[in-house]
Amino acid sequence: MRIEIWADVVCAWAYIGKRRVERALEDWDGESVEVVWRPFRIDPMAPAESLPMAEVLQDPVVDAALQQCAPDMSPTENRVRVSEIAAAEGIGPRWGAAWRADSHDAHRLIALAHEAGGSALQNAVMEEVLRAHFVDALDIARPETLAAVAGRAGFPEGPKLLASGAGEETVRELLLRGKAIGVKTSPTIVVGGGEALAGAHAPAVIAELLRGAAAAAPRELPAEVERFRQAEALLDLGDPLGCLTLLGPLMQEHGDDRNVRLLAARAHFHSAQLGRARAGLEALAAEAPDDSYVQLMLGRVLERQGLAAEAAPHLRMAAAMTPTYEN
């Protein structure tokens, strides 16, 4: 069984959640469990060059970002409570981030660790990143900090991979995947691709989640089906460019699939790439002229291009086949 933990390394509750997951697994006597860390960004507007936390804590933008870790508390309440809980979880002795740091490269390092050595190496890197940020008060946006983190975790090739730009596409796709499945807070625990738990809950609650997931019927989908559904979810969420990003590999491997082509055309339409949308829809309409939805979409694309006369036959045909499409 796989546990995916979507979390930001600059979220204190992610560190607490890590300890609580570990405690839940200590007493777990069910099937083997693999813990995989996935990226989430609570502060995507963090500056490229880190700023001392003491100078920025009064910034309302920062407070709003940090509140994604604990949406039910004010940022001040969150900071007081989290320091007490961290001490109770044995994290320390010193506690507290000293830098408002961009976590993007740290997420790349964590993702690359999983690719290189699986969940065990990734977990070691995650622990060192969190410790560097919250206990050692280091700037985890700095390459030298991440190099030291990688070395301590047993991932000496990590710095070279980071310097090469590796992991950029992986992290970008994972962030989109998280958005598609509804991850909205750090940490969010997803078990077996289905049951989810938002927040750093007590070990007993996490154990109950695991028991429920273990008792449920397997829910594994083929990777391409899962990718397609997540791309479709992004379009429904108003992110057509994200949809196209996830569709990219499917377009390469299953470019003749009608569903993939139609979703790409819809995403092109909603991202104002009207030429591409028109080309895709015209090909689909030629193959299946009785597809009323394709006719409707093609008519709307032509309208958006200012070609009302050319759009009219397609819109009439769509309405004749499916009356609810009538304007």
In single-letter form, the type of residue at position 214 comes to: A
Instruction: Identify the domain containing residue 275 by its residue range.
Output: 223-325
Residues 153 and 65 in one domain: yes
Nearest C-alpha neighbor of 8 from the set 45, 37, 29, 32: 37
63 or 231: which carries more pLDDT confidence?
231
Question: Which CATH number is 246's domain given?
Answer: 1.25.40.10
| 94 pLDDT more than 90 | no
- Domain boundary pick from 215, 238, 265: 215
Helix or strand run (H / E) with residue 252: helix 240-253
In the chain, the N- to C-terminal Cα span, in Å, equals 50
HSE-CB of 15 using CA atoms within 13 angstroms: 27
Structural domain total, the chain: 2
Convert the pLDDT of each residue in 278-321 to its tens digit. 999 999 999 999 999 999 999 999 999 999 999 999 999 999 99
Query: Pairing between strand 99-100 and 51-52?
Result: antiparallel
Q: Which residue has the tokens 């993702």?
A: 111
67 or 151: which carries more pLDDT confidence?
151
Helices (H) and strands (E) counted in the chain, each on its own, are: 15, 6
Q: What average pLDDT does this structure show over 79-105? A: 88
Residues 161 and 245 in one domain: no
Q: What average pLDDT does this structure show over 31-54? A: 91
Residues 316 and 272 in one domain: yes
- Domain boundary pick from 189, 215, 241: 215
Mean pLDDT taken over the chain: 91
- Domain boundary pick from 215, 238, 266: 215
Question: In this predicted structure, what is the pLDDT of residue 80?
Answer: 75
Nearest C-alpha neighbor of 226 from the set 234, 217, 237: 234
Residue 279, C-beta contacts closer than 8 angstroms, at least 6 positions apart:
none
Q: According to DSSP H, which parts of 28-185 are helical? A: 53-56, 60-66, 75-88, 104-134, 143-153, 158-163, 168-180
Number of Cβ within 10 Å of residue 288's Cβ equals 11
Question: In this predicted structure, what is the pLDDT of residue 68?
Answer: 62
Residue 184, C-beta contacts closer than 8 angstroms, at least 6 positions apart:
68, 198
| 61 pLDDT more than 70 | no
Q: What is the DSSP string of 223-248?
A: HHHHHHHHHHHHHHTT-HHHHHHHHH
Name the pTM for this structure: 0.90
| 187 pLDDT more than 80 | yes
Residues 125 and 248 in one domain: no
Convert the pLDDT of each residue in 215-249 to its tens digit. 876 667 789 999 999 999 999 999 999 999 999 99
Q: At what angle do helices 274-287 and 292-304 cross, to 10 degrees?
A: 150
Q: What average pLDDT does this structure show over 12-40? A: 93
Cβ 105 vs Cβ 146: under 8 Å: yes
Q: Which residue has the tokens 């920025």?
A: 56
Residues 227 and 210 in one domain: no
The two structure tokens encoding residue 257: 């699939």
The DSSP code for 5 is: E
